[in-house]
Structure 1
């Protein structure tokens, strides 16, 4: 009887994907990046291994959201001190650092398990078109 062979991490070569966030809706972009980071687009998908694929997202300053989310969507965190609940609107977070918005959205698309941190390490977000990973691309997604 033959046994099914799964590819190990060393056998699979990483693919680099470039996503342009210009005039794209935040959730649609996060879903696309999440699927790539999960390894769902790879023929070597295995749920107990993290995919080797990397995603570079450019133009994070020009992302779009639908409806009234710029004012209504809140990012909430706690400082750890009494009365330390803090919140910021999407507009405030975008003005401060637009890459955090995309990282948060993509993180929400990934499974909540011990591989999430490794998968998120394959995400690189840049505010404009200049990025430091020019030499790594084989496939360009638009």
Structure 2
């Protein structure tokens, strides 16, 4: 009989990954990165422990969307005051708020709990090709499509 092993937070081995977003689809990047942030790519995955890795996304300004999503996709936020609804298109988000645009896509695929809040802090998004995490020796994460 096999025994299910649960990893403890002190036993987690973390790796740094770097993703080049140039010419890639936003949804494909977000699903792969969310899976790595949660640790679901590891055989020691435990749902209630933060066993995920760190991810750096580069060239966020070169990430694409398919079809007419740049004009049709809308991002809504509300200030909780009367008349405080703010609507932005995907084109506006990409042009003016690139980092938040990518983070919002990944955050939506993480759990909306305290554990998800910890996992969100392991994502770093940059618009260029430079990042200040060279000392961590990140490994390239290949994303299909």
After TM superposition, the score normalised by the length of structure 1 is 0.92
SS at match of 1:27: helix
Cross-structure match for 2:131 = 131
Cross-structure match for 2:48 = 48
State the Cα deviation string for residues 54-83 of structure 1 (Å, max 9, x = none).
000000000010011111111111112111
Cross-structure match for 2:31 = 31
Runs (4+) of structure 1 moved beyond 6 Å?
Answer: none
Task: State the aligned residue count.
Answer: 142
**Aligned-residue CA RMSD in angstroms?**
1.7
Aligned partners of 2:91 and 2:84: how far apart in 1?
Answer: 21
Moved more, 58-67 or 104-113: 104-113
Aligned partners of 2:127 and 2:138: how far apart in 1?
Answer: 22
How far did 1:6 drift?
A: 2.2
How far did 1:11 drift?
A: 1.4
Structure-to-structure mapping, 1:1-142, within 5 angstroms = 4-142=4-142
5+ residue gaps, structure 2, are: none
How far did 1:3 drift?
A: 6.6
